[in-house]
Structure 1
Amino acid sequence: MKIAQICPRYSPDIGGVETHVKEISERLVKAGHDVEVITTDPSGKLEKRDTINGVKVIRFRSFAPGNAYYFAPQIYFYLKKHNFDVIHAHSYHALPALFAALGKRERKLVFTPHYHRSGHTAFRNLLHKPYRLFGKVIFSRSDSVICVSEYEKRLVEADFRVEGKTVKIPNGINLKEFEHLRNSQKGKGVEKKKGKEKTLLYVGRLEEYKGVQYIIQSLPELKDFRLQVVGNGPYEEELRNMAKNLGVDERVEWLKNLSREELLECYADADIFLMLSSHEAYGITVAEALAAGIPCVVAKGSALEEFVDGENCAGIENPVTVEKVIDSLQKIEIFKREPVSGILKGIMDWNEVSARIEKEYIRQSNKTNHKLFN
């Protein structure tokens, strides 16, 4: 099967959508499919054509003000000229999916929206109402809509006419990577309690809606904690200045462009993982932290709430405040217990995710064949 994956950005860029597309694409190639990722590069610095772990990648220059929308109409013209059995578009919140829908022709279009209804900034939120007209085009032309959480599925079904199109297939993680990390967490809390600083960890894009500022603003009251921030993004400079002005910059470590092995070391060293984002369709890094045996604190009100179980993952009610973060971290009893056996409940391996998506491609292709012979 010849498959086109359409996404705003791709490896070496990082992020939830980027990870999702990379993980399924490489597994689909191993399963014998011809996979081409059609994406954009606002910087113009990456290779226009590349092959990464068997996945063919083509990048078009895009206009992306504020790292948003990724306007690249070249995607439409490329799809019109090339044949694919299935086109799989990703991310409602960027224009490549629209160009995929417009260039669909008679091919099957699968859409994974990673949808969370509102914009990440006041300006983007203002644009969301007129942008919804484009969104309706994408959903109407899609043959299948894959949602990565129940939260996202409810939003999509409430906001768009997608009756009979939606299917839930969560994001995944590489479960084997975390087996030894879960074992290494056992008893670690007792050792850390003997006077050593405890490590808070955040992994993800540095944008205001991700809520990293609340963690930094909490540090003056959390004398026994230090923070590791892994990621980059447009909010980084403001966060660094905030840490400096609060006098906690020496307790904040900024890390980026880490290898996979280095990121796993960060998980291994962490005592608590925090994700206080106001908009998430899933939360891959939360799933990874839980798989590593690290207790998590997340903001409620998005798909992150689905991880909250009162044992391994605590939830903070919206709106998130510094006081709520401090209270949650001071109350959570994590340093004297071992991870419980149910920690991986609901967390799926990428192999299973890819296999389910492949079945959805086949199901859609069989519908086409059925029409041809009836």
Structure 2
Amino acid sequence: MKILLVTHRYPPHTGGVETHVREIAVRLDAKGHDVTVLSADATANINRQNVDDGVLVQRYRSARPGNAFYIAPQLVKAVRQSDADVVHAHNYHAFPLLFAALGVTGQQFVVTTHYHGESNNDIRNALLELYRPLGRWAIRRADDVIAVSDWERQQLQADFGVDATVIPNGLNKDRFANATPEPNAEPYLLCVGRLEEYKGIQYAIRALSELPEYELLIAGRGPYMEALKRIASEEGVADRVTFLGYVADDRLPGLYAGATAYVTLSAVESYGMTVAEALTAGTPCVVRESGALTDWADRDGCVGVDSMAPAAIATTVREAINCDVDAATVPDWDDIVERIVARYD
């Protein structure tokens, strides 16, 4: 089967959608399918065309207002000229999905929306509202729509009247299971992710005043770092907050395994990949009851919190650390690709 995957970005760029697309691309190739990726992330530092683990990756330049949307209308022609059996586009929140919808002719058209209903700032939300009629048309043009969580499925039904099939993100479970805990002088809580205000790490920092026995390790980079450092100083907990910056892939499983609890308080998510990683490493999780993270609150090893007050978060942390963790329900990528191919068929 010839499969064309269309996305806004592809590794070495990092992110949930980027990881998702690469994981399914290389596994589809390994199963004998002819896979090509079209992405809208061409820069002077990345080859316009390369082969990644057997997958042909073709990159196009795009306009990126606010480092978002990835407007690359040349994708319409690229999709239209392809001889793919299936065109599988990703990410409602960027324009390549729309251009894929405009380009498909006789190919089967599949969409994985990674939809979270809103963005993380007012300007992007206003632009997304203007985009909604086009986005609705693009989604409804699909022969099949895939959501990565039940929460997302419900949002797609409410916002667009679309019935989606839930196929979640997978995980390289062997990478996280039985990881050797990273040693630390004091017990620590862990946050992992891009440092943006909507990720809610500031609430974890403020909760440290109620959790004097713990340090907080923060893995990730982003524009909100200086603000987070200022908050830690204002709260008088700067000596118990460590900013790790970028963490290499081979270190991350040990960080999860060594944490007393993993804490994610993001306001906007369509799945929650880091929760799956933490659970597979055997670490209990505190999740904000917002967006798709609400789906995790019912899992063994996860406890939800709906208040961002320090005392509420601290109480939830103490509840979570006494939970039994069961990672059996976290799917691996091979299972996910089997389910996606079944939808293609």
State the TM-score, normalizing by the size of structure 1: 0.85
**Cα distance in 2 for residues equivalent to 1:43 and 1:289:** 33
Match of 2:154 in 1: 154
Gaps of 5+ in 1: 363-374
Cα displacement (A) at 1:257: 4.2
Gaps of 5+ in 2: none
Asked if the contact 1:211/1:277 (under 8 Å) is kept, the reply is yes
Aligned partner (choices 137, 160, 178) of residue 180 of structure 1: 178
Match of 1:6 in 2: 6
Asked if the contact 1:15/1:204 (under 8 Å) is kept, the reply is no
Aligned partner (choices 140, 164, 167) of residue 165 of structure 2: 167
Asked if the contact 2:26/2:55 (under 8 Å) is kept, the reply is yes
| Residues 1:324 and 2:307 are matched in the alignment | no
Q: Which amino acid aligns with 2:319?
A: I
The secondary structure found in structure 1 opposite 2:20 is helix
Q: Relative to structure 1, is the Cα distance of residues 128 and 322 closer, same or farther in structure 2, using a 3 angstrom cutoff? A: farther
Asked if the contact 1:16/1:284 (under 8 Å) is kept, the reply is yes
Q: Deviations over 1:67-121 (max 9, x none)?
A: 3211111222222222211111111111111111111112111100011112221
Q: Which amino acid aligns with 2:150?
A: E
Match of 2:73 in 1: 73
Q: Relative to structure 1, is the Cα distance of residues 219 and 338 closer, same or farther in structure 2, using a 3 angstrom cutoff? A: closer
Asked if the contact 1:44/1:61 (under 8 Å) is kept, the reply is no
Match of 1:353 in 2: 336
Aligned partner (choices 230, 233, 256) of residue 222 of structure 2: 233
Q: Which amino acid aligns with 2:243?
A: W
Q: How many residues align?
A: 345
Match of 2:92 in 1: 92
RMSD: 2.3
The secondary structure found in structure 1 opposite 2:66 is coil
Q: Deviations over 1:282-315 (max 9, x none)?
A: 1111011011110100000322122223851111
Asked if the contact 2:257/2:278 (under 8 Å) is kept, the reply is no
Match of 1:366 in 2: none
Asked if the contact 1:281/1:302 (under 8 Å) is kept, the reply is yes
**Cα distance in 2 for residues equivalent to 1:57 and 1:238:** 37
| Residues 1:254 and 2:263 are matched in the alignment | no
Of 343-352 and 235-244, deviating more is 235-244
The secondary structure found in structure 1 opposite 2:67 is coil
Match of 1:122 in 2: 122
| Residues 1:106 and 2:106 are matched in the alignment | yes
Q: Deviations over 1:22-79 (max 9, x none)?
A: 1111110100111111112275422211222122112222222223211111222222
Cα displacement (A) at 1:6: 1.1
- Residue identity over aligned pairs, in percent, reads 42
Cα displacement (A) at 1:326: 2.8
Asked if the contact 1:148/1:281 (under 8 Å) is kept, the reply is yes
Q: Relative to structure 1, is the Cα distance of residues 333 and 15 closer, same or farther in structure 2, using a 3 angstrom cutoff? A: closer
Match of 2:35 in 1: 35
Q: Relative to structure 1, is the Cα distance of residues 348 and 49 closer, same or farther in structure 2, using a 3 angstrom cutoff? A: same
The secondary structure found in structure 1 opposite 2:257 is helix
State the TM-score, normalizing by the size of structure 2: 0.92
Match of 2:20 in 1: 20
Q: Relative to structure 1, is the Cα distance of residues 310 and 149 closer, same or farther in structure 2, using a 3 angstrom cutoff? A: closer
Match of 1:305 in 2: 294
**Cα distance in 2 for residues equivalent to 1:157 and 1:37:** 28
Of 221-230 and 205-214, deviating more is 221-230
Asked if the contact 2:220/2:246 (under 8 Å) is kept, the reply is yes
Cα displacement (A) at 1:226: 1.8
Asked if the contact 1:42/1:70 (under 8 Å) is kept, the reply is no
